[in-house]
Structure 1
Amino acid sequence: MDWTKSDTFDQQMLRCVNQPKTLDLPSWRSPEGSCGLWSMSESGVGHIDSRIFMSPQGEPLMIVGTNGIANCVHQFVVDLRTIIPDLESKLEVENVPIRFANLTALPRESPLAEIEKNYQLLFDEKDDIFVHHEIGDRSFTAMSDVGMRNLGVYAPTPECILSLRKTFAHPDSQKMTIHQATNSLRVTLCEYPCEPSLDNTVLISIMHVKYERFLDVYYRRYLVVMNATAPFHILARSSNLIYAGTDEQQMVYSVAMEWDHSHYRRRRESRDNPRNAVEKREERTAAKLTPDTNKLVNDYYHGWLDDTLLISLGLNDKESAFIHVNAGQLLDCLELCPK
């Protein structure tokens, strides 16, 4: 990546320097008659609204929408190592097992909507997978190597989320919806190298409030804070996030977020103590801050308040960009969500 000037905003933003490549993904038709309002999609909607993220084990996963097996459009997950040659060697995850070698339909209890969108995966303290279907009417399905089960939801959507909804006098021409945007991450609410526990560690993700008026679309973005254990009670949310001074009238949507550990931890340690910061860190933390001794810790899904996040953005359905954000800044000013 490198800094380049955005065509949408008059400022520098991080972008990929390589040209995008088309992924070779399988396709099929939706069941006949399943695409009532989207009848033209029945023969092939393509692959839409992809989200790429890392699991706690180091799997490079992608959730993507395409023609459903039991409905018109559904959500699927796949391990990108089966699609992109040499990806596992570049990420140094050759020894991580592949669980999703093919496009795998993410489970949800019937009846399914005609269009299922915006699923996310939540990983609990044991790194078990839960499919979180939507933020406005919460439901979960637990996934495991031996099958799946529906998880009874004891954490309905709190008022701090529902209050963001608004109705309009003319819903045919103007409406708004709330939905999930990014993947989830685990964060410990203190600075590295404090000891993570279930008392000081939460899950975070970004949700959208989507406004539509005729052909105009724009988003507001909110950080959501959840318990790190199922059923992932929503604890708090942020105020509207504005990225890098972007124009709120432009269509700027959050796509995914990842920890940028390797670059920023080295840089911070070198800045604080150029001679021996790394050695001191290794000496004082090697015994306790590893996945072998603390199951909440890993190099992919977990971070601390003083770690840095890389958030990918979509701009007007024409451009993509990235921004670096300190985790503590995202969690700096929150509205608590009473149970």
Structure 2
Amino acid sequence: MIAQREQSGEQIFVSQEMTCNVGLLNDVMVCTAEPTTIPIEPSIVGNCSGDLAYFNSRGGPRDARMCYGPDAPYILYGSQSSYSCIGIWVEDARMLLDDFHAERSVVPKLFTHATEVQKPPPVGGMEKNFFLFWDSSNKAYVHHDIYPHRVFAQLEFDGSVGPDLGVNSASKDDVCLKMYMPTLAPELESIHQATNSLSITLCKRADSGCTPTAVNTFIFTIFQHKSYHDWHGIYEPYVMVFQRDAPFEVHAISQRPLWIHGRGPLTRETQSLLYSDPNKDIPSGHTEMFYVTSISWKTHGQKYHGYLDDPLFLAFGIEDTRAGLIDVLAEDLFSDLGYCPGKM
């Protein structure tokens, strides 16, 4: 598990990511040893200006995510950018974590050093939430935006990218997004990419006739509808499924958001650090802020690809205060999909 070290006092301008191996003790995730700092390379000199100039003085990685590709684990995180203010960096996790020490010298690796992931223009001041995905030939791509239009490109070894490939599927994707994307209020609501990607074959591993093909194997990710009313964020997660090979058209989207068991109303009993001041009013009628951060196959050794009857871990944060984990069967995430025209 990786998590951002709490920042306070003199440490507010130094961001660090921590790691430990975890086990479950009475349904609570517990580190099996003292957490250690992930030795991520120092941030480059800040390139922020105007209202974002503050970020020049806050170095180090932030909002790190760990995910598996077809062959290797990767860590993606935000930090100072060469091309904007804050960008996304990636590194092979085997170069950073002691658990993979034996593999460092014998396995060919992509992104052996911290590498900034670029984006086709236009580039914003704060770029975040990119995710990587791989086609059937294990070529790597990066998905930058999902809404109002998809932006994604092929990713090279040095972090550079090709042209925006989203334009190749936009005529069909935009129709599907309009059909199934949650309706946004004029203000204070947005769509965010949330998790990494995984590949799935839409049949059950236990079925003898279930064989991955170009027709039944897809890539999926989770995005979130964020609202920020009354100065409190609420996130609703949805699954998006798209083709594994070019042109990577969207195949299906959840018709309703996922609901994580245990999410309740926002009250004092939530013990949110955001409302630790007893004089700060808690907004009425709000649920707790649960935000999904990553998806992974639960079975040890399973990396990128799975089947409908395979169990998954969904990791999530709660109120910027604590972390959670839930295991579900993949088919549970795919039970309420709305299919794009002509895709059923």
TM-score, with normalisation over the residues of structure 1?
Answer: 0.78
Q: Distance in 2 between matches of 1:311 and 1:138?
A: 24
CA distance in 1, matches of 2:299, 2:75: 21
CA distance in 2, matches of 1:262, 1:251: 30
Paired residues of 2:120 and 2:164 also in contact (CA < 8 A): no
User: Deviation of residue 215 (structure 1)?
Assistant: 2.4
Q: Hey, what does 2:229 align to over in structure 1?
A: 213
Q: Equivalent residue for 1:78?
A: 91
- Give the aligned residue type for 1:167: A
Instruction: State the aligned residue count.
Output: 288
> What are structure 2's unaligned runs of at least 5 residues?
1-21, 266-286
User: CA deviation digits over 1:278-324, x for unaligned, max 9?
Assistant: xxxxxxxxxxxxxxxxxxxxx41101111111111111112112111
Higher-RCO chain (CA-CA 8 Å, sequence separation at least 6): 1
Q: Which amino acid aligns with 1:224?
A: M
Which residue identity does 1:316 align to in structure 2? E
Cα drift, residue 159 of structure 1: 4.5
DSSP-derived class of the 1:300 partner: coil
- Describe the shift of the 1:67–1:196 C-alpha distance in structure 2 as closer, same or farther (beyond 3 A): same
The match for 1:67 is 80
Equivalent residue in structure 1 for 2:136, among 125, 142, 146: 125
Distance 1:85 1:3 in 2: 21
Give the AA of the match of 2:35. P
- SS of 1:112's equivalent in the other structure is coil
Q: Which residue matches 1:286? A: none
Aligned-partner Cα distance in 2 for 1:223–1:204 = 7
TM-score (norm 2): 0.77
Match of 1:268 in 2: none
What residue ranges of structure 1 are gaps of 5+ in the alignment?
Answer: 6-11, 264-298
Contact 1:78-1:103 within 8 A present in 2 as well: yes
Structure 2 residue identity aligned to 1:215:
W
1:50-84 Cα offsets, whole Å, 9 max, x none, are 11001101x11011111111211001111122222
Q: Which residue identity lines up with residue 24 of structure 1 in the other structure?
A: P
**CA distance in 2 between partners of 1:241 and 1:4 (Å):** 26
1:250 is aligned to 2:288: yes
| Separation of aligned partners in 2, 1:118 and 1:319 | 20
What residue number does 1:229 align with? 245
Distance in 2 between the 1:331 and 1:13 partners?
Answer: 27
Q: 1:28 to 1:93 in 2, by over 3 A?
A: closer
Range that drifts further, 157-166 or 323-332:
157-166
Q: 2:124 pairs with 110, 113, 120, which one?
A: 113
Look up the match of 2:68.
54
The residue identity in structure 1 corresponding to 2:125 is E
Report the AA paired with residue 69 of structure 1.
S
CA distance in 2, matches of 1:20, 1:336: 43
Provide the rounded CA distance (Å) in 1 between the counterparts of 2:303 and 2:86: 30
The residue matched to 2:163 in structure 1 has which SS? strand
Backbone CA RMSD of aligned residues: 2.3
Fraction of identical pairs, as percent: 28
